[in-house]
Structure 1
Amino acid sequence: MASQGRNGNGNGYAADDDPIRVGDLVIVEADRGKDLGKVVNDTITLGEVEVFWAGQQRFGSGQSPPTSPGGADGGGGGKKEIAPKMIYGKAGAGDAQLLVAKMQDELKALALCQTKVRAKKLPMEVVDAEYQWDRRKLTFYFVAEKRIDFRELVRELFRLYKTRIWMASLQGANSFEV
């Protein structure tokens, strides 16, 4: 398994030695915080991940392998690194209720953002909103014909939600953070 258990032993077990299996909901390391994920493979090795990413590049999927900032050589070229994420443990029974509340809050955030976009007459369509599990980040997914200056929108959303706002374009590799 590519991720370490919260006890740091790297064997995919939570601290209580309860094995993590396919289908389990787990709390995982995310962008400057924690997120909720579902285990889809509990036997993958680092070598298999490297082969998968090499195949993705060769067949032109448009995705690139995960890298450390600047790549392994620090300069953007050279060998790419795969950065496994920490598994903190299985999601608890109460986390299902938190998931429902999170989804409801995402729908409210989406509707509010769409209203603000219309009011500002921005040439974009906001199609989804997603909170990171720990609510340290709120991502809005959008479609637009061209690059848009949405800095004022992001400032307004930050004032309302008091969390990091990320605008992600669904047109390709362009995603914008403010």
Structure 2
Amino acid sequence: MDNTSDNNNNIPKKTCCCKKQPNKLHCYDWLADLPESHNDTEMVEVQFKNTRKGYYKNSTHIKLEKGDIVAVEGNPGHDIGEVTLTGRLVLLQMKKNGIKPDNPDLKRVYRKAKPNDLEKYEEAKAKEHSTMLRARKIAEDLKLNMKIGDVEYQGDGNKAIFYYIADDRVDFRQLIKVLAEAFRVRIEMKQIGARQEAGRIGGIGPCGRQLCCSSWMTNFVSVATSAARYQDISLNPQKLAGQCAKLKCCLNYEVDAYVEGQKRLPSKEVPLETKDSTYYHFKTDIFKRQMTYSTSKEIAANLVTLDADRVFDVMAMNKKGIKPDRLEEEIEKEPVRKEFEDVVGQDSLTRFDKAKKKSNNKRKKKPQVTGIANSNGKLENAGENGQQSKPRKDNNGQKQNGNRPGKSGNRSSSQNKPNQQGKNGNEKQQDRTTPGKNAE
């Protein structure tokens, strides 16, 4: 919601402070919901191209809101910028940057930008890229060890600011004369660092996200190699350097956590002594609180990884003159628990069921005997293997036929069953070998 006034009550409406900020250097206006805070001071914050900001006095009491394009006092002429902050927070930002509100050198806000002012501003802005390329060529011809990274024209086109990068001090007096003759404007040179240049150009970091310097960082803190040492990162310049060819800013993000974790660990300089040899520190995993020791200072030999508590214990033993047999803490083996034996059977689900008696009188399956019919239609018995058995003799020594005693008539082969169950094989073998009593 825009901060507009009501026609009836002349009460300014609330301004939405959650509006998406187009630039990373915008300050979050947490007092935007308080209308009275915007009338506390005449100072306003104005931002120009390339994150350049300035603080100007609204001496004519123009009603300015965040996002308005205004024409401010320049040196010489006027400049065009955007209002980024008004009210009480401007005083806090000025105090943060070391600018006093009663400074007589503070410049004024002329007016809100008119269409004619915006046309001149767009014309001057369109010449910036070609001016930068030509200025680089001129600096190269003069054999100056510098790089011109960007050019910014003033809103009225009467002044140009050249941003350059240089490792050493550069005498650019001759360069200013040549640039003034070439572009017919007033020349101002500003030196910036490699980090500021990367923030202006932008890019994607090795993490896959937009560079921090171009997305949210507003100030740059120096990064030392000690930050990499605290985190046990190999000092490889190709991996530690960012797109600005300087150490990555993200090395400072977690170094405080590593320093605090290191304070709770034993000293790396104290070796551990055992009865067999002396162990020296090799590496440390700070967050796991594990330390690895080696029997050699130069190479990794007989590596042993211990917890921090065990290292403290060994150091205390060595201080008392006691040398343990080994660095690893002896772990007492727990006795093997026997499985629970249900002696009484009280936990059995079937303890109340009656046990079934196993009967040994199982019927044995008798072998099948096939019947063979003779020429008279009588059925003769055959052995287990299908061989014909010898005719039996009765007690009088006469051969028995296929007729059953006590019954008359012969059974035909069609009436007899093809399979009949006879006696078992042992009884048949005894009948064939043992003669009857009268046969003797």
What's the CA shift for 1:103?
A: 1.4
Secondary structure of the equivalent of 2:193? coil
SS at match of 1:133: coil
Structure 2 CA distance for aligned equivalents of residues 157 and 34 of structure 1: 21
Q: Aligned partners of 1:39, 1:120: CA distance in 2, in Å?
A: 40
Cα shift readout 1:85-124 (whole Å, capped 9, x = no counterpart):
2111111234333332211111121111011112222111
Conserved? CA contact 2:124–2:156, under 8 Å:
no
**Which deviations, in whole Å up to 9, do the C-alpha atoms of 1:46-105 show, x marking residues without a partner?**
xx52x4344x3xxxxxxx52479xxxxxxxxxxx83744211111123433333221111
Aligned residue for 2:149? 127
Structure 1 residues 166 and 23 mapped into 2: Cα distance closer, same or farther (>3 Å)? Answer: same
Q: Which residue of 2 aligns with 1:52?
A: 93
Q: Is the 8 A contact 1:65 1:82 kept in 2?
A: no
105-114 or 92-101, which deviates more: 92-101
| Alignment-derived partner of residue 334 in structure 2 | none
The percent identity for this pair of structures is 26
Matched, 1:65 2:98: yes
Is the Cα contact below 8 Å between 1:66 and 1:83 reproduced in 2?
no
Q: Aligned ranges for residues 25-174 of structure 1 at < 5 Å?
A: 25-44=69-88, 49=91, 51-54=92-95, 56=96, 64-66=97-99, 81=103, 83-171=105-193
Change in CA separation of 1:52 and 1:152 when aligned onto 2, cut-off 3 Å: same
Code of the aligned partner of 2:157: R
Call closer, same or farther: CA 1:95–1:53 in 2, change over 3 Å: closer
TM-score normalized by the length of structure 1? 0.68
Cross-structure match for 1:20? 64
- Structure 2 distance, partners of 1:138, 1:21, is 28
Q: Structure 1: which 5+ runs fail to align?
A: 14-18, 57-63, 69-79, 173-178
Structure number with larger C-alpha Rg: 2
Of structures 1 and 2, the one scoring higher in RCO (CA 8 A, sep 6+) is 1
- Structure with the higher fraction of residues in strand conformation: 1
Aligned pair count reads 141
Q: CA RMSD in A?
A: 2.6
For residues 125 and 150 of structure 1, the distance between their equivalents in structure 2, rounded to whole angstroms, comes to 12
Helix, strand or coil at the partner of 2:127: helix
TM-score, normalisation: structure 2 = 0.29
SS in 2 for 1:41: strand
Map 1:2-13 → 2, pairs under 5 A: 2=43, 3-5=56-58, 8-9=59-60, 11=61, 13=62
Alignment match, 2:253: none
Segments of structure 2 that go 5 or more residues without pairing to the other structure are: 1-41, 44-55, 195-440
Task: Provide the secondary structure at the position in 2 that maps to 1:167.
Answer: strand
Change (3 A) 1:53 1:94: closer
Taking the aligned partners of 2:98 and 2:135, their CA distance within structure 1 comes to 31
Contact 2:78 2:156 in 1 (8 A): yes
